[in-house]
Amino acid sequence: MLKKLLTVSLLILMLALLAACGGDTEEAAPAAEETTAEEAAPAETDGTMTYVFVPKGLGIPYFDTANNGAQEAAAELGVEVTYTGPATADATEQIQVLNSLIAQGVDGLAISANDADALVPTGRDALESGIPVVSWDSAIAEGGRNAHMNQADSEGIGRVQIEMISDLIGGSGEIAILSATSTAPNQNEWIEFMKAELEKPEFADLDLVTIVYGDDEDEKSYNEAVGLMRTYPDLKGIISPTTVGIAAAARAVQDQDRIGEVFVTGLGTPNQMREYVESGAAPAFALWNPADLGYLAIYALNAIATGEIQGNPGDTFDAGKLGTYTIAEDGSVLLGAPTVFNIDNINDFDF
């Protein structure tokens, strides 16, 4: 009888010990999970806002100069600005670059669009992901960005280029336009205003014979300019509203020994055009300061990204050394009027 009681007691004790051990095991599991979660936590960042400045294509001096202004703004604002884009001025390549940046979750995008409409879905994807978007130089159509930084009034840009070519060729003769890509929204808008100017009585003797496209590639633009002079032997002027095209066309005029016979004008930068102004191949051209445009774009983007403004018409923001700007009813911000460069003032500028 005593042996049976001892056996039962021993069994009870063993069951109690097992129950106690089981309870300890259940309590230990959450502790292990907490350790795992703590080890998997992402590393903390310093909180610096990171924006990306995207040109139409890399390796183009105009865009490099604009990036200098973007970097100046970044230093003043205490943000980081990365400069990247497609290898060539191609909308499909640009969209691929932007999709990658959106997937990385950058804090903002400043884009010069290769195609106004084609970039709208990509810009919309960024906005829906919480990434603010401003376009600059060449607009993304509405719906794909918060605001657009317009380098100058489009009508004014068209007007000044017709005025310059008229002055250079004496008010009459055949002229041609050498543009960038056929889909570049800013180029096409300027060309439409040039055509409108040509309808005015004071320009009735100017004859626009054709429009060709160099795709913002130096060699192609050069060849197009040479082709214009051969196809139209009486051609007196070439307007190129693109920094790549105007330099290539001016070089073609020099190489073909047509200085004084064919005059080039359009939009360029002083440093790239100085040689051609001095030689007489391109005695006058116009442009805004691209560094100021890049500077303005980053200030506007930062104001939207930080919640200072929403990016709506009527919103006003500070743009550092450039002063205060207000977003217009069409969603654009106007940098200012273009400057005409010639032999009298070109050495006063360095960009």
**13 part of a folded domain:** no
* 179, 141: one domain: no
**10 part of a folded domain:** no
* 279, 184: one domain: yes
Q: Which domain holds residue 138?
A: 50-151+290-336
**20 part of a folded domain:** no
* 80, 162: one domain: no
Tell me which DSSP letter residue 113 carries: -
pTM score over 0.85: no
Distance CA 262, CA 246 (A): 13
Residue 229 has pLDDT above 80, yes or no: yes
> Each residue of 82-108: pLDDT tens digit?
999 999 999 999 999 999 999 999 999
Nearest to 89 by CA among 127, 59, 67, 57: 57
* 278, 320: one domain: no
Look at residues 287, 303, 328 and tell me which one is the last residue of a structural domain: 287
> Each residue of 288-297: pLDDT tens digit?
999 999 999 9
> Band of the pLDDT at 21, cuts 50, 70, 90?
very low
> Each residue of 38-56: pLDDT tens digit?
222 223 346 899 999 999 9
> Each residue of 237-260: pLDDT tens digit?
999 999 999 999 999 999 999 999
**145 part of a folded domain:** yes
Specify the CATH number for the domain of residue 71: 3.40.50.2300
* 160, 128: one domain: no
Nearest to 71 by CA among 277, 320, 340: 320
* 198, 282: one domain: yes
| Tally of structural domains, the chain | 2
Nearest to 86 by CA among 120, 52, 49, 117: 52
pLDDT at 152: 86
**Cα 171 to Cα 61, 101, 107, 156, 166, distances in angstroms:** 32, 49, 50, 19, 4
110 forms beta bridges with: 53, 134
